C-alpha cells in the first residue's frame, strides 16, 4: 500500500514513542518494497567516538549486530557516513560501497549486507551544519524489476525519510544498550569454538575430537547457535558469527 506523503507525515507526528514511530515508518517502507531501515544523528565533532550522550541511532533490525563496526572503530573510515555529511540528495549505498571495495569499512559493510540479503539501499542524508544525520532504507526484493523499482522509489523514500526523521528528533531517542556494548554476548565460548572450527572446515567428528566432546554435544551446540543467530546452515552461522562483537572467526 503506497502512502500519500501528507498521510505519512500525520502518521509519524502522531507516534507517541520511538517504537510506534518505527512501526509506522516500516509500514510506509513496506508499501514501496523496502524491508528495513536505520537512522542516526551524530555531532560532527564526535564522529570518531560516536557513543556519547547527545547522539542517537535506531534500527528496525538488531542494531547490536553493528556494534563491532563501532567498537573496532571501523566507523572512522566509513566513507558513506562522511558522504552523508556532505550530500543533500539520496545516494545508492551499495554502489557507493562497491566503488570503494578496497577500503576496510566498505568491505565490512558489503559483507554484512550480503549476509542479510540486501539487494538495494538508499542513504538519505539529512545533515545540518553541526550534525551528521541520515536514514538508510534497505530493499531485499529479488526479481527482474527490483532495480527499476528501487530507482523509481528514490524520491518517495526521500520524502518519507525526511518526515520520519523530523518526528524522530522530537522524541529525543538515545543510543541503544546493544550499541553501547552492554548486551550479553550472543554466543557462549563453547558455541563460538564450534562455529570457528566449522569455519576452518572441520567436520562434526573433527570438532568433537579437537574440543574433547562428543559428536552429539557438537550437534547440540550448533542447534543453539542456529537458534540464536536465526540461521539454518553451518556456513550461514560462520558468516553471521563473524559479524558479532569481538569475533575471531
d(Cα 21, Cα 103) in Å, to the nearest integer? Answer: 34
Task: Output the nine-digit C-alpha cell for 71.
Answer: 567498537
Ramachandran class of 232: left when φ > 0, alpha when ψ lies in -120 to 50, beta otherwise: alpha
What is the reported pLDDT for 182? 45
Task: Output the nine-digit C-alpha cell for 46.
Answer: 564526535
d(Cα 53, Cα 42) in Å, to the nearest integer? Answer: 10
Task: Output the nine-digit C-alpha cell for 176.
Answer: 541503544
Summarize pLDDT for 76-90 with one digit per residue, the tens: 778 888 888 888 999
Task: Output the nine-digit C-alpha cell for 232.
Answer: 539454518
d(Cα 65, Cα 90) in Å, to the nearest integer? Answer: 24
Which pLDDT band, with edges at 50, 70 and 90, does 231 fall under? confident
User: What is the pTM for the complete model shown?
Assistant: 0.71
Residue with the three cell numbers 526523521: 165
- Taken in order of first residue, the domains within the chain and their CATH numbers are 5-180 (3.30.450.80), 189-241 (1.10.10.10)
**CA dihedral for 106, 147, 85, 54, sign (positive or negative):** negative
- Residue 189 contacts residue 221 (beta carbons within 8 Å): no
Of 156 and 179, the one with more pLDDT = 156
Summarize pLDDT for 89-110 with one digit per residue, the tens: 999 999 999 999 898 889 889 9
Question: Quick one: which of 61, 39, 3 has its CA closest to 167?
Answer: 39
Amino acid at each position: 500500500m503506497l502512502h500519500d506523503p501528507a498521510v505519512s507525515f500525520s502518521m509519524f507526528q502522531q507516534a507517541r514513542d520511538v517504537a510506534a514511530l518505527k512501526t509506522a515508518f516500516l509500514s510506509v517502507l513496506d508499501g514501496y518494497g523496502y524491508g528495513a531501515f536505520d537512522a542516526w544523528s551524530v555531532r560532527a565533532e564526535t564522529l570518531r567516538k560516536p557513543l556519547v550522550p547527545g547522539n542517537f541511532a535506531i534500527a528496525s533490525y538488531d542494531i547490536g549486530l553493528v556494534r563491532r563496526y563501532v567498537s573496532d572503530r571501523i566507523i572512522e573510515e566509513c566513507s558513506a557516513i562522511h558522504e552523508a555529511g556532505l550530500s543533500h540528495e539520496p545516494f545508492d549505498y551499495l554502489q557507493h560501497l562497491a566503488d570503494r571495495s578496497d577500503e576496510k569499512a566498505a568491505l565490512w559493510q558489503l559483507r554484512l549486507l550480503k549476509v542479510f540479503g540486501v539487494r538495494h539501499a538508499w542513504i538519505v542524508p539529512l545533515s545540518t551544519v553541526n550534525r551528521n544525520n541520515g536514514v538508510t532504507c534497505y530493499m531485499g526484493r529479488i526479481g527482474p524489476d527490483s532495480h527499476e523499482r528501487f530507482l523509481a522509489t528514490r524520491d518517495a523514500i526521500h520524502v518519507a525519510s525526511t518526515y520520519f526523521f523530523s518526528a524522530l528528533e522530537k522524541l529525543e531517542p538515545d543510543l541503544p544498550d546493544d550499541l553501547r556494548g552492554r548486551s550479553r554476548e550472543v554466543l557462549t565460548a563453547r558455541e563460538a569454538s564450534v562455529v570457528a572450527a566449522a569455519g576452518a572446515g572441520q567436520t562434526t567428528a573433527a570438532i568433537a575430537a579437537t574440543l574433547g566432546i562428543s559428536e552429539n554435544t557438537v550437534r547440540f551446540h550448533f542447534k543453539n547457535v542456529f537458534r540464536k543467530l536465526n540461521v539454518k546452515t553451518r556456513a550461514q552461522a560462520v558468516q553471521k558469527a563473524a559479524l558479532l562483537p569481538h569475533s575471531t572467526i
